[in-house]
């Protein structure tokens, strides 16, 4: 059985995103290359051979999260092979994942946000688009891939909400406020029309000469990089940093974690829970204002 059949399964039956499928393909091809080098039959692989592969991953100094992803990819692949009777058992089902690294998400301060938002020149079409990119990422907490796939008809201008198609094709509604509304309307009425130059495109974020295609995630990353350089922030900021900032700022202001979970599109509360570790300032304020032995005068 070729890997192409598995990829087809991920696309059609599991409905995974292009990015997720790409990672599966890379992980499985990496494992197949190892098996070919070691003259291992992937359909008759044993525990010691799997252990040899894991040792190779650790020797390469991969992060625990990367090794976990690779094992998970192979677990899914071998489950597929088992269900289609190409292997006798899913050997990766019995392989434990490495202990997760406790890494706190990086986020930006309110001052950082103000500085980068002032960089795009909203008198120009590209400046309007780039400012909107910042506003949407920070105001809604959406992923960069979700941003690029927003279509005009996904937006409810009256309710200031956007229908988002997230991971696993799960739909959710995100909200935006007045600042985002202002630049959104300006961009649609002005900058977007100039960038399209008479062409049709159903997507909200557009570039020049794109036809009716979505804006690439890589293009957004480059735009963010350029803005950070111009703002002279000595920080590593990615589109995902704005998502972390969105969640952290909401929790710091007292937003219920269940609401943050829904807005982020997390399937598990455990995933959202990482943000509670960076909301200590909010906890401190609540404690000082609430506990009898800690109340401020």
Q: Kindly state the helix (H) or strand (E) to which residue 247 belongs, with its residue range.
A: helix 239-252
Q: Residue 291 catalytic?
A: no
Q: Residue 266 catalytic?
A: yes
Catalytic-role residue among 14, 52, 167, 186? 167
Residue 207: half-sphere exposure toward Cβ, Cα within 13 Å: 12
Q: Residue 138 catalytic?
A: no
Q: Residue 172 catalytic?
A: no
Quick check: 10 and 77 in contact, CB under 8 A?
no
The Cα 224–Cα 116 span in angstroms is 9
Closest CA to 238 of 250, 226, 253, 255: 226
Q: Residue 275 catalytic?
A: yes
Catalytic-role residue among 129, 131, 243, 244? 243
Catalytic-role residue among 52, 69, 210, 240? 240
Q: Residue 240 catalytic?
A: yes
The Cα 246–Cα 264 span in angstroms is 9
Please provide the size of the chain in residues: 297
Catalytic-role residue among 129, 203, 275, 282? 275
Catalytic-role residue among 131, 249, 266, 282? 266
What value, to the nearest 5°, has the Cα angle with vertex 6 and ends 71 and 28?
35
Tokens (6 digits) for 136: 């949407």
Closest CA to 247 of 234, 264, 267, 235: 264
The Cα 75–Cα 124 span in angstroms is 49
Catalytic-role residue among 143, 244, 261, 282? 143
The Cα 206–Cα 218 span in angstroms is 13
Task: Indicate which residues carry an active-site annotation.
Answer: 143, 167, 240, 243, 266, 275
């Amino acid at each position: 059985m070729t890997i192409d059949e598995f990829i087809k399964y991920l696309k059609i039956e599991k409905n995974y995103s292009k990015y997720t499928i790409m990672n599966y393909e890379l992980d499985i091809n990496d494992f197949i290359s190892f098996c070919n080098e070691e003259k291992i039959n992937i359909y008759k692989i044993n525990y010691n051979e799997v252990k040899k592969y894991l040792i190779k991953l650790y020797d390469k100094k991969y992060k625990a999260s990367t090794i976990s992803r690779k094992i998970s990819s192979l677990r899914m692949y071998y489950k597929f092979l088992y269900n289609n009777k190409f292997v006798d058992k899913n050997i990766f089902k019995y392989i434990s994942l490495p202990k997760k690294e406790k890494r706190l998400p990086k986020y930006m301060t309110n001052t950082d946000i103000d500085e980068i938002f002032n960089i795009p020149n909203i008198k120009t079409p590209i400046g309007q688009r780039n400012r909107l990119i910042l506003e949407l990422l920070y105001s809604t907490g959406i992923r960069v891939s979700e941003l690029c796939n927003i279509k005009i008809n996904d937006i409810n201008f009256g309710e200031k909400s956007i229908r988002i198609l997230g991971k696993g094709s799960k739909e959710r509604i995100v909200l935006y406020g007045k600042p985002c509304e202002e630049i959104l309307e300006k961009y649609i009425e002005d900058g977007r029309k100039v960038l399209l130059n008479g062409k049709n495109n159903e997507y909200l974020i557009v570039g020049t000469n794109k036809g009716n295609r979505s804006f690439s995630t890589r293009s957004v990353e480059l735009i963010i990089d350029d803005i950070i350089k111009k703002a002279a922030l000595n920080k590593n900021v990615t589109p995902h940093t704005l998502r972390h900032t969105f969640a952290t700022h909401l929790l710091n202001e007292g937003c219920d974690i269940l609401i943050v979970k829904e807005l982020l599109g997390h399937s598990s509360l455990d995933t959202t829970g990482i943000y509670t570790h960076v909301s200590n300032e909010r906890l401190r304020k609540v404690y000082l204002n609430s506990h009898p032995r800690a109340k401020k005068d």
